[in-house]
Structure 1
Amino acid sequence: MLEYIMRNITLKQLRALAAVIDTGTVTAAARQLNVTPPAVTMQVQLLEEQLGLPLLDRAGERFQPSDAGREVLAAVARIERALADCGASLDAMKGLDAGRVCVGIVSTAKYFAPNALGVFARSHPGIDVALVVGNREEIIAALRGDVIDVAIMGRPPLDIEVDKTLLGPHPHVMIAPTDHPLLGRRITPDRLAGLTFLVREPGSGTRTLMERYFQDAGVEPRIGMEIGSNETIKQAVMAGLGLSFISAHTIAAEVADGRLAVLDVEGMPVVRQWFVVKRSAKRLTPPAAALNEFLANRGSEFLPRPIAPSSALIPAGG
């Protein structure tokens, strides 16, 4: 029954509800839509009557969405994205190099992906490229909800049907401060037991890969801090607060400048791969398809060079 009703509600009703939720008041929503407050009230009331559920709750002087309102609001967001995509496709059919594409990248990819996106944007000045950065779980959620068109990530999701294209290798290494006593030695994983590690938050692909490495090695790492930023982790390692398992693509500048060192640990680097990923069922607009093709063909050019373990700073037997 509700499925039939949903087919008969109007975009005007949905936008009125979204505007009230966005602004918090009917008056502000009316200004946003360039209509009168009674018109907004009428559209929302009609929508509630059709659905048979309250869509707004009052919190003081402002409105907020009910549980049903949040569901409808999510649908409105998908509809607006679909309309925007349609507009971009129609623009392309007119021969316009215009439109918008939204790219999601895991936080580790921000050390090379912006360079690739910059080259694409300069080649297509009429296309607006938006960037969403998050950990692996956040980017997968954005893919699932069609918030983004394509993603750059290390391990494609298993619970969503996706099309993936290999970009290139993604090595992970163990970093230490430049005066660490284990530098210049070949280290077995058991030598790391009892040392303090600074790790990414749960949900991070780097954290998952680190846990798998230590589990396979039979080593229980001592977790000193959970830190949600690679930049903060690097600063903490420089300060001598611990070691860290991290993407080699995040530390090239610090190693080159002598601010961080890479330990020579057996079984490292742990190499995974970078992929460009899109949801299989998502029909890409011409701008998004162009970017997807650009990353598939040229994305590997922007990957940082491999990093070798740091040279010995103390005698190997010392």
Structure 2
Amino acid sequence: MNYTLHQLHVFLKITQNKSITKAAIELHLTQPAVSIQLRNFQDQFDVPLTEVIGRKLYVTDFGKEIAIAAEKILNEVHAINYKTMAFKGQLTGKLKISVVSTGKYVIPYFLSDFLKQNQSVELLLDVTNKNKVLKNLEKNEVDFSLVSVLPETLQIEKIELMPNTLFLIANSNQQIGNGVQDKKIIENLPIIYREQGSGTRYVMERFIEQNQLTVPKKMVLTSNEAVKQAVLAGLGCSIMPLIGIKSELTNGSLQIIPVQGLPLHSNWNLIWLKGKKFSPVANAYLKFVNEEKKKIIANAFGWIKP
């Protein structure tokens, strides 16, 4: 046996994704490069690790056992690296954060300086919808989550970061009357929704229900970025967070439609499970956010008014 740590890492990614193509994307390698590593790794075993049936890759029972062993080996290697860095007095370890999709416009600014100051810290950042974020939190798979709608069923602690403001948005070519519009205007516009489980969708639907509006869904899309592109293309209007459309408002490709009862307001919160035992990295990050959040907000988000 003469396999390398790189081969173990590649094989583990293949088993996790059950796809060479997806593994290549995660590893930032070409598909042929991943295939070669898999073949070289397989050549060291007499028993098949994977098999392809109908163009779909399956991991054999033996392959699953090897994947478990590979993960243990790689975790031990990481532990050695962390201990080495810690011995040198450097903060080391993993910082695990899950973020709702619109949060991708917020969280980088609350990470940048921390990661520059602690270059041995490994960041694991999952950007997904609200439901998945809360599942990650509930399973204690992450240190922190960034949300704009607080969970009702979990016991959490939080740091309130900054306001999240949502407006009715249209393509700049959309013809709207002057002044503040009646809420009923939403019933007469093609409204684009986020998918179920989205925090933006939740806030939008609550506004519609509270005002007893009848709003047919023009279409449903799975990210705020997709919704923004659809609005830009003139496919409809939507209620969207201001945080994600600064450039489009500045260059005039999108417009805010002033409507009674809008904008809607919530807050971006960094949350964690109540009573969670933090790693040294998570403790350091929490301290960093508490100490630096006002400066970060002033420098990066001063254009947003509460």
* TM-score over 0.5 (shorter chain): yes
2:136 match: secondary structure: helix
**Partner of 2:187 in structure 1?**
193
2:219 match: secondary structure: strand
- Backbone CA RMSD of aligned residues: 4.0
Separation in structure 2 between the aligned mates of residue 213 and residue 299 of structure 1, nearest angstrom:
30
Contact kept in structure 2, 1:88 and 1:286, CA below 8 Å? no
1:150 CA drift (Å):
1.0
**Partner of 2:26 in structure 1?**
none
Which structure: larger Rg? 1
Q: Which runs of 5+ in 2 are unaligned?
A: 1-11, 19-36
Tell me whether 1:137 sits opposite 2:131 in the alignment: yes
**Partner of 2:248 in structure 1?**
254
1:163-242 to 2 correspondence within 5 Å?
A: 163-182=157-176, 184-242=178-236
Contact kept in structure 2, 1:174 and 1:265, CA below 8 Å? yes
Tell me whether 1:305 sits opposite 2:303 in the alignment: yes
Separation in structure 2 between the aligned mates of residue 183 and residue 93 of structure 1, nearest angstrom:
66
TM-score, normalisation: structure 2: 0.72
Q: Which runs of 5+ in 1 are unaligned?
A: 1-17, 42-57, 309-318
**Partner of 1:293 in structure 2?**
287
Change (3 A) 1:295 1:240: same
Separation in structure 2 between the aligned mates of residue 95 and residue 134 of structure 1, nearest angstrom:
34
1:112 CA drift (Å):
2.3
Change (3 A) 1:133 1:304: farther
Contact kept in structure 2, 1:276 and 1:292, CA below 8 Å? no
> Percent same amino acid at aligned positions?
24
Contact kept in structure 1, 2:90 and 2:118, CA below 8 Å? no
Separation in structure 2 between the aligned mates of residue 252 and residue 210 of structure 1, nearest angstrom:
20
Deviations 1:111-168 (A, max 9, x none): 1211221122112222222221001111111112333211111123232222211112
2:203 match: secondary structure: helix
Change (3 A) 1:264 1:22: closer
Q: Structure 1 counterpart of 2:129, which letter?
A: N
Separation in structure 2 between the aligned mates of residue 307 and residue 166 of structure 1, nearest angstrom:
15
Separation in structure 1 between the aligned mates of residue 177 and residue 106 of structure 2, nearest angstrom:
28
Separation in structure 1 between the aligned mates of residue 153 and residue 278 of structure 2, nearest angstrom:
20
**Partner of 2:8 in structure 1?**
none
